[in-house]
Amino acid sequence: MLDEIEVFVEVVEAGSFAAAARRRGVPKSTLSRAVDRLEDTLKARLLERSSRKLVLTDAGQAFVAQTAPHVAGLRDAAKAVGERSGTPEGTLRITAPGDVGEAFLAELLVRFIARYPLVRVDVDLSSQLRNLVEAGFDVGLRASTRGALDPTLVARRVTSMEAQLFASPAYLARRGSPRTPDELSSHECVLFRSEDGRNELTLDGPDGTSTVTISGRINGRDFSFVRAALRAGAGVGSLPAFMATEDLAAGRLVRVLPSFGRAVGVLFVVYPAARHVPRKVIAFRDFVLESLGGATGPLGRAR
Protein backbone atom coordinates (compact mmCIF):
# COMPACT_ATOMS: atom_id res chain seq x y z
CA MET A 1 0.00 0.00 0.00
CA LEU A 2 2.99 2.31 0.48
CA ASP A 3 3.40 2.81 -3.27
CA GLU A 4 -0.27 3.74 -3.63
CA ILE A 5 0.00 6.26 -0.78
CA GLU A 6 3.01 7.89 -2.43
CA VAL A 7 1.12 8.11 -5.73
CA PHE A 8 -1.90 9.67 -4.01
CA VAL A 9 0.25 12.31 -2.29
CA GLU A 10 2.09 13.09 -5.52
CA VAL A 11 -1.21 13.52 -7.43
CA VAL A 12 -2.44 15.93 -4.76
CA GLU A 13 0.85 17.87 -4.81
CA ALA A 14 0.83 18.08 -8.61
CA GLY A 15 -2.83 19.16 -8.74
CA SER A 16 -3.90 16.57 -11.31
CA PHE A 17 -3.31 13.05 -12.52
CA ALA A 18 -1.93 14.41 -15.80
CA ALA A 19 0.69 16.62 -14.10
CA ALA A 20 1.77 13.82 -11.77
CA ALA A 21 2.01 11.40 -14.71
CA ARG A 22 4.30 13.84 -16.57
CA ARG A 23 6.56 14.06 -13.52
CA ARG A 24 6.82 10.30 -13.30
CA GLY A 25 6.91 9.67 -17.03
CA VAL A 26 4.07 7.13 -16.89
CA PRO A 27 0.54 7.01 -18.33
CA LYS A 28 -2.15 8.83 -16.37
CA SER A 29 -4.16 5.61 -16.15
CA THR A 30 -1.35 3.97 -14.14
CA LEU A 31 -1.70 6.56 -11.38
CA SER A 32 -5.49 6.50 -11.50
CA ARG A 33 -5.51 2.74 -10.94
CA ALA A 34 -3.10 3.12 -8.00
CA VAL A 35 -5.42 5.60 -6.30
CA ASP A 36 -8.40 3.31 -7.01
CA ARG A 37 -6.56 0.48 -5.24
CA LEU A 38 -5.83 2.75 -2.27
CA GLU A 39 -9.48 3.78 -2.00
CA ASP A 40 -10.55 0.13 -2.16
CA THR A 41 -8.11 -0.78 0.62
CA LEU A 42 -9.23 2.12 2.81
CA LYS A 43 -12.87 1.68 1.83
CA ALA A 44 -13.13 5.43 1.47
CA ARG A 45 -13.43 7.92 -1.38
CA LEU A 46 -10.38 10.22 -1.34
CA LEU A 47 -10.81 12.21 -4.58
CA GLU A 48 -13.70 13.54 -6.60
CA ARG A 49 -12.59 13.38 -10.22
CA SER A 50 -13.87 15.61 -13.01
CA SER A 51 -12.61 16.57 -16.46
CA ARG A 52 -11.57 20.01 -15.21
CA LYS A 53 -10.21 19.62 -11.71
CA LEU A 54 -9.35 17.30 -8.87
CA VAL A 55 -11.13 17.83 -5.51
CA LEU A 56 -10.25 16.15 -2.21
CA THR A 57 -13.08 14.69 -0.16
CA ASP A 58 -13.09 15.26 3.60
CA ALA A 59 -11.52 11.82 4.02
CA GLY A 60 -8.94 12.68 1.37
CA GLN A 61 -8.00 15.94 3.09
CA ALA A 62 -7.55 14.19 6.42
CA PHE A 63 -5.57 11.36 4.86
CA VAL A 64 -3.15 13.57 2.91
CA ALA A 65 -2.57 15.75 5.98
CA GLN A 66 -1.47 12.65 7.91
CA THR A 67 0.54 10.94 5.18
CA ALA A 68 2.24 13.75 3.20
CA PRO A 69 4.86 14.55 5.91
CA HIS A 70 5.78 10.86 6.15
CA VAL A 71 6.05 10.51 2.37
CA ALA A 72 8.32 13.57 2.29
CA GLY A 73 10.45 12.02 5.02
CA LEU A 74 10.78 8.78 3.09
CA ARG A 75 11.81 10.70 -0.02
CA ASP A 76 14.47 12.58 1.93
CA ALA A 77 15.75 9.34 3.44
CA ALA A 78 15.96 7.67 0.03
CA LYS A 79 17.74 10.70 -1.41
CA ALA A 80 20.23 10.73 1.45
CA VAL A 81 21.02 7.04 0.95
CA GLY A 82 21.49 7.65 -2.78
CA GLU A 83 23.84 10.54 -2.10
CA ARG A 84 25.88 8.50 0.36
CA SER A 85 26.12 5.57 -1.99
CA GLY A 86 27.26 7.87 -4.79
CA THR A 87 24.42 6.82 -7.10
CA PRO A 88 23.03 9.71 -9.19
CA GLU A 89 19.24 9.72 -9.19
CA GLY A 90 16.19 11.94 -9.60
CA THR A 91 15.14 14.43 -12.26
CA LEU A 92 17.90 16.55 -13.81
CA ARG A 93 16.55 19.82 -15.22
CA ILE A 94 18.77 21.09 -18.05
CA THR A 95 18.70 24.33 -20.03
CA ALA A 96 20.62 24.81 -23.28
CA PRO A 97 20.55 26.92 -26.46
CA GLY A 98 18.24 25.53 -29.12
CA ASP A 99 21.07 25.12 -31.65
CA VAL A 100 23.07 23.04 -29.20
CA GLY A 101 20.06 20.93 -28.29
CA GLU A 102 19.17 20.25 -31.88
CA ALA A 103 22.71 19.41 -32.92
CA PHE A 104 23.90 16.92 -30.32
CA LEU A 105 22.21 17.12 -26.91
CA ALA A 106 19.53 14.49 -27.53
CA GLU A 107 22.06 11.87 -28.60
CA LEU A 108 24.27 12.77 -25.64
CA LEU A 109 21.39 12.36 -23.17
CA VAL A 110 20.40 8.96 -24.53
CA ARG A 111 23.88 7.72 -23.63
CA PHE A 112 23.80 9.57 -20.28
CA ILE A 113 20.59 7.96 -19.02
CA ALA A 114 21.79 4.57 -20.23
CA ARG A 115 24.79 4.96 -17.91
CA TYR A 116 22.68 6.34 -15.03
CA PRO A 117 19.31 4.51 -15.08
CA LEU A 118 18.01 6.23 -11.92
CA VAL A 119 18.25 9.70 -13.51
CA ARG A 120 15.46 11.32 -15.54
CA VAL A 121 16.13 14.43 -17.65
CA ASP A 122 13.87 17.40 -18.31
CA VAL A 123 15.28 19.67 -21.06
CA ASP A 124 14.41 23.28 -21.87
CA LEU A 125 15.84 24.69 -25.09
CA SER A 126 15.80 28.46 -25.40
CA SER A 127 17.73 31.21 -27.15
CA GLN A 128 17.24 33.34 -24.03
CA LEU A 129 19.75 33.19 -21.20
CA ARG A 130 17.82 31.56 -18.35
CA ASN A 131 18.58 32.19 -14.69
CA LEU A 132 19.29 28.70 -13.42
CA VAL A 133 18.34 29.32 -9.80
CA GLU A 134 15.20 31.37 -10.43
CA ALA A 135 13.94 28.99 -13.12
CA GLY A 136 14.76 25.87 -11.11
CA PHE A 137 17.39 24.36 -13.41
CA ASP A 138 20.07 22.05 -12.10
CA VAL A 139 22.58 22.57 -14.89
CA GLY A 140 23.00 24.37 -18.19
CA LEU A 141 25.08 24.45 -21.34
CA ARG A 142 26.24 27.92 -22.32
CA ALA A 143 28.04 29.12 -25.42
CA SER A 144 30.07 32.26 -24.76
CA THR A 145 32.02 34.46 -27.15
CA ARG A 146 33.35 36.74 -24.42
CA GLY A 147 34.32 34.26 -21.74
CA ALA A 148 32.46 36.18 -19.01
CA LEU A 149 29.69 34.18 -17.36
CA ASP A 150 27.41 34.66 -14.36
CA PRO A 151 29.74 34.80 -11.33
CA THR A 152 27.15 32.99 -9.17
CA LEU A 153 27.58 29.88 -11.35
CA VAL A 154 30.32 27.30 -11.46
CA ALA A 155 31.48 27.15 -15.09
CA ARG A 156 33.55 24.32 -16.53
CA ARG A 157 35.03 24.81 -19.98
CA VAL A 158 34.05 21.97 -22.29
CA THR A 159 35.56 22.82 -25.67
CA SER A 160 36.21 25.61 -28.13
CA MET A 161 33.81 26.01 -31.04
CA GLU A 162 34.81 26.71 -34.63
CA ALA A 163 32.70 28.12 -37.46
CA GLN A 164 33.22 27.03 -41.04
CA LEU A 165 31.77 27.97 -44.43
CA PHE A 166 29.15 25.83 -46.19
CA ALA A 167 26.85 25.84 -49.20
CA SER A 168 24.54 23.38 -50.92
CA PRO A 169 25.68 21.35 -53.94
CA ALA A 170 22.95 23.05 -55.99
CA TYR A 171 24.24 26.55 -55.19
CA LEU A 172 27.85 25.61 -55.97
CA ALA A 173 26.80 23.99 -59.24
CA ARG A 174 25.05 27.25 -60.19
CA ARG A 175 27.62 29.78 -59.00
CA GLY A 176 30.87 27.87 -58.61
CA SER A 177 32.94 27.47 -55.47
CA PRO A 178 35.06 30.38 -54.18
CA ARG A 179 38.77 29.64 -54.18
CA THR A 180 39.90 32.44 -51.87
CA PRO A 181 38.21 34.42 -49.08
CA ASP A 182 38.20 37.55 -51.29
CA GLU A 183 35.96 35.76 -53.82
CA LEU A 184 33.22 35.49 -51.17
CA SER A 185 32.42 39.17 -51.78
CA SER A 186 31.02 38.27 -55.22
CA HIS A 187 28.83 35.45 -53.88
CA GLU A 188 25.31 35.52 -52.48
CA CYS A 189 25.74 34.83 -48.77
CA VAL A 190 23.37 33.88 -45.96
CA LEU A 191 24.07 36.34 -43.15
CA PHE A 192 23.87 35.96 -39.39
CA ARG A 193 22.52 38.87 -37.35
CA SER A 194 23.33 41.49 -39.93
CA GLU A 195 21.99 45.03 -39.53
CA ASP A 196 22.58 46.29 -43.08
CA GLY A 197 22.73 43.26 -45.36
CA ARG A 198 26.46 42.79 -44.76
CA ASN A 199 28.76 40.88 -42.42
CA GLU A 200 32.45 41.37 -41.88
CA LEU A 201 33.92 37.88 -41.82
CA THR A 202 37.32 37.14 -40.32
CA LEU A 203 38.81 33.76 -41.23
CA ASP A 204 41.92 31.99 -40.00
CA GLY A 205 43.80 30.17 -42.77
CA PRO A 206 47.13 28.55 -43.55
CA ASP A 207 48.74 31.92 -44.30
CA GLY A 208 47.20 33.90 -41.46
CA THR A 209 44.00 35.84 -40.97
CA SER A 210 41.81 37.21 -43.76
CA THR A 211 38.91 39.65 -43.39
CA VAL A 212 36.29 40.01 -46.09
CA THR A 213 32.94 41.80 -46.28
CA ILE A 214 30.13 39.52 -47.45
CA SER A 215 26.61 40.50 -48.44
CA GLY A 216 23.29 38.79 -49.00
CA ARG A 217 19.55 39.26 -49.05
CA ILE A 218 18.75 36.60 -46.44
CA ASN A 219 19.65 37.32 -42.83
CA GLY A 220 18.90 35.09 -39.87
CA ARG A 221 19.14 35.54 -36.13
CA ASP A 222 19.33 31.84 -35.43
CA PHE A 223 21.88 29.32 -36.73
CA SER A 224 19.17 26.74 -37.33
CA PHE A 225 17.55 29.12 -39.83
CA VAL A 226 20.91 29.85 -41.49
CA ARG A 227 21.49 26.12 -41.90
CA ALA A 228 18.03 25.62 -43.43
CA ALA A 229 18.63 28.48 -45.88
CA LEU A 230 21.98 27.00 -46.89
CA ARG A 231 20.38 23.62 -47.48
CA ALA A 232 17.81 25.32 -49.71
CA GLY A 233 20.55 26.76 -51.91
CA ALA A 234 20.43 30.38 -50.76
CA GLY A 235 24.19 30.90 -50.86
CA VAL A 236 27.36 30.52 -48.81
CA GLY A 237 27.19 30.89 -45.06
CA SER A 238 29.00 30.36 -41.80
CA LEU A 239 27.88 27.76 -39.24
CA PRO A 240 29.34 26.27 -36.07
CA ALA A 241 31.04 23.11 -37.27
CA PHE A 242 29.02 20.80 -35.05
CA MET A 243 25.79 21.93 -36.72
CA ALA A 244 26.88 20.73 -40.16
CA THR A 245 28.21 17.26 -39.39
CA GLU A 246 25.08 15.33 -40.43
CA ASP A 247 24.43 17.50 -43.50
CA LEU A 248 27.99 16.96 -44.71
CA ALA A 249 27.68 13.21 -44.30
CA ALA A 250 24.34 13.20 -46.14
CA GLY A 251 25.57 15.44 -48.96
CA ARG A 252 23.12 18.23 -48.20
CA LEU A 253 25.95 20.69 -47.56
CA VAL A 254 29.51 21.02 -48.86
CA ARG A 255 32.44 22.62 -47.05
CA VAL A 256 33.56 25.84 -48.76
CA LEU A 257 37.16 27.05 -48.42
CA PRO A 258 38.04 24.01 -46.26
CA SER A 259 41.39 25.48 -45.18
CA PHE A 260 39.65 28.39 -43.45
CA GLY A 261 37.63 28.71 -40.27
CA ARG A 262 37.16 30.94 -37.28
CA ALA A 263 36.77 30.57 -33.53
CA VAL A 264 33.26 31.53 -32.42
CA GLY A 265 33.37 30.90 -28.70
CA VAL A 266 33.61 28.33 -25.97
CA LEU A 267 31.06 25.83 -24.70
CA PHE A 268 30.66 25.68 -20.91
CA VAL A 269 28.69 23.45 -18.59
CA VAL A 270 27.37 25.59 -15.72
CA TYR A 271 25.55 24.94 -12.47
CA PRO A 272 24.71 26.91 -9.31
CA ALA A 273 27.50 27.26 -6.78
CA ALA A 274 26.57 25.22 -3.71
CA ARG A 275 28.30 23.58 -0.78
CA HIS A 276 26.89 20.19 -1.74
CA VAL A 277 26.49 19.71 -5.48
CA PRO A 278 23.99 16.92 -6.25
CA ARG A 279 25.44 13.69 -7.60
CA LYS A 280 23.27 13.91 -10.70
CA VAL A 281 24.81 17.31 -11.57
CA ILE A 282 28.35 16.03 -11.03
CA ALA A 283 27.58 12.98 -13.16
CA PHE A 284 26.23 15.11 -16.02
CA ARG A 285 29.12 17.58 -15.82
CA ASP A 286 31.69 14.81 -15.98
CA PHE A 287 29.83 13.00 -18.76
CA VAL A 288 29.75 16.16 -20.90
CA LEU A 289 33.46 16.78 -20.31
CA GLU A 290 34.23 13.15 -21.15
CA SER A 291 32.09 13.15 -24.31
CA LEU A 292 32.78 16.60 -25.74
CA GLY A 293 35.87 17.92 -24.01
CA GLY A 294 39.00 19.08 -25.75
CA ALA A 295 39.77 21.75 -28.31
CA THR A 296 39.62 19.18 -31.10
CA GLY A 297 36.49 17.44 -29.81
CA PRO A 298 33.19 16.96 -31.69
CA LEU A 299 32.42 20.69 -31.62
CA GLY A 300 35.74 21.72 -33.02
CA ARG A 301 35.59 20.44 -36.58
CA ALA A 302 33.03 19.05 -38.97
CA ARG A 303 34.69 16.33 -41.01
Q: In this structure, what are the phi and psi dihedrals at residue 190, rounded to the nearest 5 degrees?
A: -95, 120
Residues 96 and 32 in one domain: no
Residues 189 and 257 in one domain: yes
Query: What confidence category does residue 295 fall into, taking pLDDT thresholds of 50, 70 and 90?
Result: very low
Max distance between CA atoms of the chain, in angstroms, equals 83
Could you tell me the CATH number of the domain that includes residue 16? 1.10.10.10
129 assigned to some structural domain: yes
Q: Could you say which of 50, 85, 120 is where a domain stops? A: 85
CA distance 301 to 6: 49
pLDDT at 15: 83
Q: List, for residues 149-193, the tens digit of each pLDDT value.
A: 677 789 998 888 889 999 999 999 999 999 999 999 999 999 998
Helices (H), 132-209: 132-135, 169-175
For residue 145, give its domain range: 90-154+272-292
Q: List, for residues 36-47, the tens digit of each pLDDT value.
A: 998 899 899 998
Contacts of 280 (CB under 8 A, 6+ apart): 88, 89, 90, 92, 116, 119, 138
Number of domains in the chain: 3
Residue 21 has pLDDT above 70, yes or no: yes
Could you tell me the CATH number of the domain that includes residue 123? 3.40.190.10
DSSP codes joined into one string, 7-28:
HHHHHHHHTSHHHHHHHHTS-H
pTM for the model stands at 0.59
